[in-house]
Amino acid sequence: MALVINTNVSSLTAQRNLVGTGNSMKTSLERLSSGLRINNAADDAAGLAVSQKMLGQIKGLNQAVRNANDAISMIQTAEGGMQEVQTMLQRMRELATQAASDTISDTERGYINTEVQALKSEINGIADRTKFNGQSLLTGSLTTTLGGATGTDLVVGDILTNATTVMASAIDVSGAMAGDTYTMTYASATDKLTMTRSSDSVAQTIDVAAMAANSTQTLNFDALGVKITLQNSGAATADNIGAGLDAAADDTIVTAAGSGSATVQIGADTGAGNTLSLSFDNIKIEAGGAAAMVTLNTALTDFDSSSTRANASTLLGAIDSATDYVSSERADLGAVQNRMGYTIANLQATSENISAARSRIVDADFAVETANLTRTQILQQAGVAMLSQANSLPQNVLALLQ
Mind listing the pLDDT tens digit for each residue in 29-66? 888 888 888 888 888 899 999 999 999 999 999 999 99
Average pLDDT over residues 2-29: 82
Buried b (16+ CB within 10 A) or exposed e, 190-221: ebebbbbbeeeeeebeeebeebeeebebebeb
Q: pLDDT tens digits, residue range 114-129?
A: 999 999 999 999 998 8
Asked if 373 and 30 count as a contact pair (C-beta separation under 8 A), the reply is no
Hey, which bits of 54-134 come out as E strands? 131-132
pTM for this prediction: 0.70
Q: Which fold does the domain 53-135+277-351 belong to in CATH?
A: f41 fragment of flagellin, N-terminal domain (1.20.1330)
Instruction: Check residue 191 and report its DSSP letter.
Output: T
Q: Determine what percent of the chain is predicted with pLDDT higher than 90.
A: 51
**pLDDT level of residue 248 (50, 70, 90 thresholds):** confident
Q: What are phi and psi of 160, to 5 degrees?
A: -65, 140
Average pLDDT over residues 92-109: 94
- The confidence score (pLDDT) of residue 336 equals 93
CB count in 10 Å sphere of residue 189: 9
**Measured distance CA(246)–CA(188) in Å, rounded:** 10
- The confidence score (pLDDT) of residue 2 equals 65
Asked if 58 and 78 count as a contact pair (C-beta separation under 8 A), the reply is no
**Measured distance CA(10)–CA(5) in Å, rounded:** 11
User: 106-129 vs 45-99: helix axis angle to the nearest 10?
Assistant: 170
Q: Given a cut of 80, is residue 258 above it in pLDDT?
A: no
Q: Given a cut of 90, is residue 279 above it in pLDDT?
A: no
**pLDDT level of residue 313 (50, 70, 90 thresholds):** very high
Average pLDDT over residues 178-194: 89
CA distances from 358 to 32, 35, 44, 50, 332 (A): 18, 13, 13, 8, 38
Q: Given a cut of 80, is residue 402 above it in pLDDT?
A: no
Give domain limits for the chain.
Answer: 9-35+364-401, 53-135+277-351, 166-254
